[in-house]
Amino acid sequence: MERLIIIGHGSPLKGANNLDIIGRLLHRALHDGCKKDCVSVAYLQFGRPDLMECIRTAVDGGARKVIIHPYFLTSGMHVTKDIPMIIEEAKRLYPDVEFLYTEPLGFHERLVEIIKDRIKGHLRPQEIEERSFEIIEEESEMGNIPFEEKEIIKRVVHATADPEFLNNMVISSEAIKTGIEAIRAGRDILVDVEMVRAGIPERFLREFGIKVHCYINDEDVIRISETTGRTRAEIAMEKALNENNNIGIIAVGNAPTALLKVIEFLNRSSVNSSTSAFSLQPLVIGVPVGFVKALESKVLLSAQGFPFITNLSRKGGSAVAVATVNALLKCASAPRGEAEAEKEEI
């Protein structure tokens, strides 16, 4: 049985003795899914356990090979004298155990990359976002994706740190055009939960004179839900769609029942076109998250004839809905000549 011990210097500042984080990350990298204590951490000074305690625990647990890695940059006195002395004592106490002592971090080309990352960590917020988008493009195959679609997908991946969305986003042919035209025409946005509304910047709303509506906490919505057993999300959507004929974008990030109600309402309106509340079809962004009806509602949305943006996965959520809406707002806000030029560059 083999055990790895990482030993650091230790600090009088207790919060700095957090080498266990590195231990967990290394354990996952070496033995993903393993539940055993294959990797331990120790401190030379100021922290517990110390190296000899850690060795004793490993041997008592059945280890017959102990690898010790000094979490130090260079080969100073601690690395060349103090730690080796402890290891020699351990060899004397446990002659049947094999001890291996590795080099410190030292001069390695990957450390240069780490320093570069730390420098980039001090970028301004806009620069951080731009660099994040660059990383997403560098690590993904997005060359043939149209410009506006790419903007949406990048923002979703950025918001979730989940590259899986690169492969499961579905955007209908008229979706982006419909969304941008609705924004530029000052048509309102309907959302299923307050978290989605909170994520949409006021500066864009002011620029286009847009309001964001969320009826889920309305008193009559709560009352109807309590008396009928229906979800507040679907009741709120039904109320909004019946009362407001200026909705240009519907964004559902949380409740599958809300998305199902939207699909039902829009299909009913298209059949009864003479009495439809909408002179122009709204864009539906349907990305609810969950295990019950979430994927099913999105599959149903992907089969509709009206404009939609969705993802075919259980994943989703308010952050995905917000990222999609904000990408459309940013595209609508960009000067039209500039947007066209960016498209031609791709």
Give me 57's structure tokens: 């625990």
Q: Which regions of the chain does DSSP assign to beta strands (E)?
A: 2-8, 39-43, 65-70, 98-101, 169-171, 188-191, 212-213, 247-252, 283-286, 308-311
Cβ burial of 225 (10 Å; 0-12, 13-18, 19+) is: middle
- The closest alpha carbon to 4, from 16, 83, 114, 31, belongs to 31
C-beta separation of 328 from 183 below 8 A = yes
- The closest alpha carbon to 328, from 149, 133, 131, 130, belongs to 149
Cβ atoms within 10 Å, residue 248 = 24
Q: How far is Cα 244 from Cα 235, in angstroms, rounded to an integer?
A: 14
Handedness of CA 49, 55, 59, 62 (dihedral sign): positive
* From 9, 69, 78, 158, the catalytic residue: 158
Q: Which residues contact 144 (CB under 8 A, 6 or more apart)?
A: none
Q: How far is Cα 49 from Cα 179, in angstroms, rounded to an integer?
A: 59
Tell me, yes or no, if 158 is annotated catalytic.
yes
Give, in degrees to the nearest 5, the angle at Cα 278 between 211 and 237.
60
Residue whose structure tokens are 């041997």: 59
Q: How far is Cα 190 from Cα 325, in angstroms, rounded to an integer?
A: 11
Q: Which residues contact 1 (CB under 8 A, 6 or more apart)?
A: 61, 62, 63, 64, 65
Give me 164's structure tokens: 């899986």
Q: Where in the sequence numbering do the catalytic residues fall?
A: 158
